[in-house]
Homo-oligomer: A and B are copies of this chain.
Amino acid sequence: MKSAALISIGNELLSGETVDTNVSYLCRHLLLCGIPTVNIFTVPDEISSIVDAFEQATRRADVVLVTGGLGPTGDDVTREALAAFLKVELRFCEDLQEQIAGFFARRGFEMAPSNRIQAFLPAGARALQNSQGTAPGIAVDWQGRFIACMPGVPAEMKQMFSDHLNDYLKQLAGGQSVAARKLMCYGAGESTIASMLGERMERGRNPLVNSTAQAGLVTIHIVAAAAEQASAEQMVEHERAELCQILGNIIYGYDGQTMAEVVGAALADRGKTLAIAESCTGGLLGQLITDVPGSSRYFKCGWITYSNEAKSRDLDVDSGLLEQCGAVSEEVAQAMALGARKKAGADYGIAITGIAGPDGGTEAKPVGLVYIALNTINGSRCERFVFPFTRPIMRLRTALAALNMLRLEL
């Protein structure tokens, strides 16, 4: 079985300025290619340290993936370090320079002279095109090893990996085929899910089942290995079906789907439309909904009614009601949801009102309290939550809870 080593390059990774999320993305995707990662090296922007890492990495692994240090500035020396390790010179590539200049041109800029360095490649290496930025990647075969250098910017690295490396590495791995599936869960914690799944989550099992949690969402990873791709797929599918039996509607989607994608697809399928009114989330719910390409088919509009004035003016919330119950109340949430749906002429209206904090909480209405109302032609309902977290997490949990209410309604 082939193995991989990763080299993360950048002073910012060693100063603690940046958390290196590239490695977890690459480890996960390498595993899906059938190539486990055996070592990760994190080194500063120094030629000697990088060459040293190349030597150790190529000693340990068949595939070496490098991120960072391909930028145009003086402290970006990955290009030079790779050439030094390979003991070859850097060669200027006319067509590569044209690609880079083209990237600037499309944005209506002149290419800065310093970007010219990005058009140099170690002799014998090939460029990996970067559709998201100026820095081309570099790939080279060396003494039976495959080495690829990618930009450190996660969006650029991910695009480059799927454009140029994913399929290639799958082939390279040969032998054991690996199939994987993710189940996206909401409404139960990791430990609850673990106790529901019991010995299915034991280590070393094939298919392997484990979970990761983030901001109220739990992702269950299923990975199966077999001689044939088809049988690996079958094993994963069989496991998936059984887990769905056990977990029911805790599972909201698959393979990294967002709650907004699932809810959006359900709305589109039914030809229904949505309008929203947000107070404490201040636009976050709208942002999550419109993150989905094509959301204009079902998302009509939203109001960010951050003041009482706006709630009355734009959503016809009775100002007496605001006086009497307060902006953060079931009554006002209901009125906002109704107002949003009616004004927009939508099928569903969602409203959020709460206290994101850090200030503004009271004994009766603590920071983290939120009311979420869902209004439809057939009536409306409201749920009360308390998310006693930091402001950003409270806001994210609230938006997810709102989407989940609509998901279960649909």
A residues within 8 Å of B by Cβ?
8, 10-21, 23-29, 31, 36-46, 49, 56, 71-75, 106-108, 112-115, 132, 153, 155, 159, 182, 189-192, 194-195, 201-203, 210-214, 219, 221, 223, 276, 278, 280-287, 289-291, 293-296, 299-307, 309-310, 313-314, 343-344, 356-359, 386-393, 395
Contacts and interface: CB of A to CB of B under 8 A. Distances in A.
Contacts of A12: 210, 212, 221
Contacts of A8: 40
Contact of A299 (B29, B190, B306, B387): B306
Given A17-B221, A39-B41, A386-B108, A300 B293 contact: no
Nearest to A118: B191
B293 A73 contact: no
A386 B289 CA distance: 23
A151 B356 CA distance: 24
Given A19-B21, A31-B15, A282-B287, A132 B389 contact: yes
A331 to B, nearest CB: 20
B306 A303 contact: no
A221 B15 contact: yes
Given A27-B16, A75-B210, A155-B393, A286 B304 contact: yes
Output the residue of A21, A40, A219, A392 with the most chain B CB within 10 A.
A40
A15 B43 contact: no
Contacts of A36: 14-15
A300 B303 CA distance: 11
Contacts of A41: 39-42
B112 A191 contact: yes
- Copies of chain A in the complex: 2
A221 to B, nearest CB: 6
Contacts of A21: 19
A283 B40 CA distance: 38
Contacts of A38: 14, 44, 49
Nearest to A195: B114
B306 A300 contact: yes
A357 B296 CA distance: 11
A407 to B, nearest CB: 19
Contacts of A276: 304
A306 to B, nearest CB: 5
Contacts of A73: 190-191, 194, 201, 210-211
A296 B357 CA distance: 11
Contacts of A395: 287, 291
B202 A74 contact: yes
B286 A282 contact: yes
A191 B287 CA distance: 31
Contacts of A211: 73
Given A73-B211, A108-B386, A286-B286, 6 more contacts: A17-B221, A114-B191, A282-B289, A284-B286, A300-B310, A301-B303
A27 B39 contact: no
Nearest to A14: B37
Contact of A15 (B27, B189, B282, B293): B27
Given A16-B27, A24-B19, A49-B38, A74 B194 contact: yes
Nearest to A273: B307
A306 B295 CA distance: 9
Contacts of A191: 71-73, 112, 114-115
Contacts of A17: 24, 28, 182, 210, 212, 219, 221
19 contacts: A15-B31, A17-B182, A38-B44, A39-B41, A46-B203, A72-B190, A72-B191, A74-B202, A75-B201, A106-B388, A112-B192, A132-B393, A155-B390, A283-B287, A284-B287, A284-B290, A286-B304, A291-B395, A296-B307
